[in-house]
């Protein structure tokens, strides 16, 4: 069978998604992009209702970026039956999972269903959602899912804000406040004590409400210690009622 590279998304496409298509093209001549807002991963009904949707614009963008097939299934197509939920385990209820019970179970359950439909050789996921990427890689490895997971670097706007479909809800003032997140990550990267530095910078912006700021070991997703070689800082929080997520590699020892 021919190789196929798959890019799963929830639509409202931006340059971050398009970079995933570009990367997918370097793995296979056949790129499939899916657009599916997965109700199972939204524990908050309002967030689900407010999630931006513009299928026509998405199709045009994805085609121009070189996706060969664009697949926008309905909820009934993906879940014709009551799905048996895949558990994301302990890590699934930490960090992003703390206030979003069942979120990562919903992510793994939909990824499993999407993979079964598309049967890709490769699937590309962004480092923007670092915990999601980690959990998908772990699930694939533990369950011998026959798909190679490709990580794509996080894409930022020129001002440093990590691109996200939710950014359009920030407004001008909110956008300014949101810049504190990438500023905190950059300052942390230059600091001997990245965790304290992040907290200090984040606290300087009254428009930002912190959810968590952590430094983890990239290999294990455990909180980093002084001897951890490959570390990454992750920040999540709220600006103007919009939840924002960002991360940056701190130190790497090859």
Residues 248, 111: Cα–Cα separation, whole Å: 25
Residue 206 CB, shortest distance to ligand AMP, in Å, is 25
108 binds ligand AMP (CB under 6 A): no
Our finding on whether 109 is near ligand AMP (CB under 6 A) is: no
How far is it, in rounded angstroms, from Cα 169 to Cα 91? 29
Q: CA torsion sign, 111 to 16 to 213 to 48?
A: negative
155, 179, 186, 210: residue in contact with ligand AMP (rule CB under 6 A): 155
3-state secondary structure of 81: coil
Q: Does the protein bind ligand AMP through residue 184 (CB under 6 A)?
A: no
DSSP state of 95: G
Does 129 engage in binding with ligand AMP (CB under 6 A)? yes
Which residue, chain included where needed, has tokens 């309002």? Answer: 46
Instruction: Kindly state the tokens that stand for 151.
Output: 């990580």
Using Cβ positions, the residue closest to ligand AMP within the complex turns out to be 126
Active site residue 117: no
Structure tokens at 80: 């014709």
Nearer to ligand AMP, 62 or 228 (CB): 62
Q: How many residues does the chain have?
A: 254
Q: Does 194 bind ligand AMP (CB under 6 A)?
A: no
Query: Could you say whether residue 16 binds ligand AMP (CB under 6 A)?
Result: yes
Scanning 8-16, 98-106, 110-118, 140-148 for contacts with ligand AMP by CB under 6 A, the matching segment is: 8-16
By CB under 6 A, which span of 12-20, 169-177, 186-194, 207-215 interacts with ligand AMP? 12-20
Exposure string over 71-96, b if 16+ CB within 10 A, otherwise e? bbeeeeebbeeeeeebebbebbbbbb
Residues carrying an active site annotation: 17
Which residues are at the interface with ligand AMP (CB under 6 A)? Answer: 9-10, 16-17, 19-20, 125-126, 128-129, 152, 154-155, 162-165
């Amino acid at each position: 069978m021919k190789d196929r590279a798959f890019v799963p998304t929830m639509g409202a496409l931006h340059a971050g998604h398009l970079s995933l298509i570009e990367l997918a093209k370097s793995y296979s001549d056949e790129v499939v992009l899916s657009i599916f807002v997965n109700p199972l991963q939204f524990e908050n009904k309002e967030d689900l209702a407010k999630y931006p949707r513009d299928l026509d614009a998405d199709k045009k963008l994805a085609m121009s970026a070189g996706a060969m097939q664009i697949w926008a299934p309905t909820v009934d197509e993906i879940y014709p039956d009551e799905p048996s939920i895949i558990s994301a385990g302990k890590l699934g209820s930490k960090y992003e999972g703390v206030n979003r019970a069942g979120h990562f179970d919903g992510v793994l359950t939909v990824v499993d269903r999407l993979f079964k439909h598309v049967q890709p050789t490769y699937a590309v996921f962004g480092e923007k959602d670092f915990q999601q990427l980690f959990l998908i890689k772990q699930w694939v490895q533990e369950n011998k899912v026959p798909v190679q997971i490709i990580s794509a670097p996080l894409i930022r706007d020129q001002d440093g804000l990590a691109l996200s479909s939710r950014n359009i809800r920030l407004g001008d003032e909110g956008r300014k406040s949101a810049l504190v997140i990438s500023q905190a990550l950059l300052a942390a990267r230059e600091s001997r004590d990245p965790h304290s530095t992040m907290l200090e910078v984040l606290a300087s912006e009254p428009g930002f409400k912190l959810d968590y700021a952590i430094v983890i070991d990239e290999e294990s997703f455990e909180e980093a210690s002084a001897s951890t070689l490959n570390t990454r800082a992750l920040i999540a929080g709220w600006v103007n009622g919009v939840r924002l997520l960002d991360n940056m590699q701190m130190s790497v020892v090859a």
